[in-house]
A and B are shown apart, each in its own frame.
Chain A
Amino acid sequence: MIENYLAVSSLGVDYWHQGKKVRALDSVDLTLDRGKMGVVIGPSGCGKSTLMSVLAGLNTKYTGQVLIDGKTPTGGLETALILQDFGLLPWKTVWENIVLGLKIRKKNLSEIKGAAEIILEKMNLIPLAKRYPAQLSGGQRQRVAIARALVLEPKLLLMDEPFSSLDALAREEIQDFLLEIWEETKLTTMLITHSIEEAVFLGQRIFVMSPCPGRIRKQVENPLAGDHSLRGRVQFVEMCSLLRTYLHGGRRETYETDA
Chain B
Amino acid sequence: MRLMPNKQQGLFTFAYTVLGLFMGWWMLALVLDSPAVPLPWDAVKSLGESLRGDLLFHLGVSLYRVLVSLILATVLAVPLGIFLGKNPALDNKAAPLVYLTYPIPKVVLMPVFLILLGIGDASKIVLITLITFYQILVTTRDAAKNLEKGYVSSVKSLGATSFDLYRHVYFPACLPAILTSLRLGLGTALAVLFLAETYATQEGIGFFIMDSLSRMNYEEMFAGIIAMSLMGFFLYLLLDQGEKVLCVWTRL
CB of B242 to closest CB in A, whole Å? 15
Does A58 interact with chain B (Cβ within 8 Å)? Answer: yes
CB of A149 to closest CB in B, whole Å? 9
Interfacial chain B residues near A81, Cβ < 8 Å: 153-154, 157
**Given A91-B175, A105-B158, 8 other A-B contacts at CB below 8 A?**
A57-B157, A79-B157, A80-B157, A83-B150, A86-B151, A88-B154, A91-B247, A91-B249
CB <8 Å contact, A89 and B172: yes
CB of A75 to closest CB in B, whole Å? 6
- What 1/0 mask marks residues of chain B from 134 to 172 whose CB sits below 8 Å from any chain A CB? 000000000000001111011111111100100011001
The DSSP consensus for interface residues of chain A is loop
CB <8 Å contact, B157 and A77: no
Q: Residues of B with Cβ closer than 8 Å to A?
A: 148-151, 153-161, 164, 168-169, 172-173, 175, 247-249, 252
CB <8 Å contact, A89 and B157: no
Q: Residues of A with Cβ closer than 8 Å to B?
A: 53, 56-58, 75-77, 79-83, 85-92, 100-101, 104-105, 132, 134-135, 152
Given contacts A86-B148, A86-B150, A90-B249, contact A100 B168 (CB under 8 A): yes
A87 to B152, CA, bound (A): 9
Given contacts A132-B249, A135-B252, contact A87 B159 (CB under 8 A): no
CB nearest neighbor in A for B165: A104
Given contacts A87-B150, A89-B169, A100-B168, contact A132 B252 (CB under 8 A): yes
Given contacts A89-B168, A89-B169, A91-B172, contact A58 B148 (CB under 8 A): no
CB <8 Å contact, A77 and B159: yes
Given contacts A89-B169, A91-B172, A132-B252, contact A100 B155 (CB under 8 A): yes
Interfacial chain A residues near B248, Cβ < 8 Å: 132
CB of B10 to closest CB in A, whole Å? 23
CB of A161 to closest CB in B, whole Å? 12
Interfacial chain B residues near A58, Cβ < 8 Å: 153, 156-157
